[in-house]
Amino acid sequence: MDTPALHPAAQTLAAEHDRGELSRREFLTRATSLGLTTAAAYGLIGVAMPSEVRAQPAQGGTLRIQSDVRALKDPRTYDWPQMSNFSRGWLEYLVEYQRDGSFKPMLLAGWEVNADATQYTLSVRPGVTWNDGTPFTAADVAFNITRWCDQTVEGNSMASRMASLIDPETKQAIEGAIVATDDLTVTLTLPTPDITLIAGFSDYPAAIVPQDFSGDPMADRKGTGPFVPVDLEVGVKSVMVRNEDHTWWGTEVYGGPYLDRIEYIDFGTDQVTHFSAAEADEVDMLYESLGEFVELFDSIGWNKSETITANTVVIRTNQNAEIDGQKPYSDVRVRRALALAVSNCEQACNFDPVTG
């Protein structure tokens, strides 16, 4: 799509950044969610966009990843990111969240947001096809956003992200709010402002499924991505291979796909086992490393990849717990003191001082 006009809020966001009221990361998140390209957002604050220096990938080979291997289900009900890490090989996303905080178009080519964030114009990337050869169109995008709005589906976490598009009485998408105006354009019309939709599109339960989706990604195996699943044994291993029968749209944008095969291997939750697997050359990559194990993996020469994330600390005191013959948490004053001791500037804490 053409470069969108500068959003009215962009200059305000840039000024807040310049005054130190917004971090660069938060500025990039807000500015790109309003439709600015990442390059334009960096330019608005007078900063050169960082260049990515990468080694030329080798073609072919197998990547073995340590990860929980979980059963798949309807992606809008995903409750573990490990599910999406596997299925994203063939079920892709409208938007991709970047390490610097910006949002990058994926199956969308871009988007525009009006001044009060009550109308979004989504431009679908041209030339994308499903792996059965059929074109990916605005109707597919509208179908997915509409199904995300269905609050009657148990476990559909996408409904909370699409709240501004949902009729509270029908618990479905507001009639006329999601319209495919042509083959490559979707217009979203909201009754109230919402600047969070693009962020919602990038979250892991927002995988794009075909209109004939059965509810089981392993049964359909239809998607827009460069891989196709060939094996899933819960708690043991899952495997996907490069789809030789599908010309992936992303080659011209991202390069690749380079790997022939990706394996997710479940070694349980004990990081000692993960470290042993790495030392024994049984895996090439970890889902995550925590605490002192970060330094241990550093010590064996593994490359470290870091991304800033947020965490919520949840405290649930047991009012019946005994310590030295006493039940300190049965006293509401102790529970209130714990709540008051938390600095909400540093972390989010879900704590009920009355019920504990």
C-alpha–C-alpha distance, residues 158 and 263, integer Å = 28
Looking at residue 290, its pLDDT comes to 85
Query: Any idea what DSSP says for residue 324?
Result: T
Taking the mean position of all CA atoms in its chain, how far away is CA 280?
A: 32
pLDDT at res. 57: 86
Q: Is the peptide bond before 353 cis (omega within 30 degrees of 0)?
A: no
- For the whole model, what pTM was predicted? 0.85
- In the block, tokens 């649930």 appear at 316
So where are the chain's domains? 8-44, 73-202, 229-299, 312-350
pLDDT in tens, the chain (356 residues): 444 567 889 889 999 999 999 999 999 999 999 999 999 999 999 998 887 766 778 899 999 999 999 999 999 999 999 999 999 999 999 999 998 999 999 999 999 999 999 999 999 999 999 999 999 999 999 999 999 999 999 999 999 999 999 999 999 999 999 999 999 999 999 999 999 999 999 999 999 999 999 999 999 999 999 999 999 999 999 999 999 999 999 999 889 999 999 999 999 999 999 999 999 999 999 998 888 899 999 999 999 887 766 666 677 788 888 888 999 999 999 988 888 887 665 433 333 333 33
Q: What's the DSSP call for residue 88? A: T
Give the H or E element holding residue 127: none
> How far is CA 187 from its chain centroid?
22
**Alpha-carbon distances of 351 from 147, 314, 328, 331, 333, rounded to whole Å:** 33, 7, 16, 15, 14
CB 31 within 8 A of CB 104: no
Bridge partners (DSSP) listed for residue 135: 129
73-202 is classed CATH 3.90.76.10: yes
Extract long-range pairs of 33-37: CB within 8 Å, 24+ residues apart: 33/103, 33/113, 33/195, 33/196, 33/198, 33/199, 34/7, 34/9, 34/10, 34/113, 34/117, 34/195, 35/4, 35/7, 35/110, 35/111, 35/112, 35/113, 36/4, 36/6, 36/7, 36/10, 37/3, 37/110
Sequence-distant (6+) residues with CB within 8 A of 150 are 156, 159, 171, 172, 173
What pLDDT is stored for residue 310 in this prediction? Answer: 65
Q: How high is the pLDDT of residue 231?
A: 97
What's the confidence (pLDDT) of residue 4?
54
CB atoms within 10 A of CB 292: 8
The values of phi and psi at residue 350, to 5°, are -90, 110
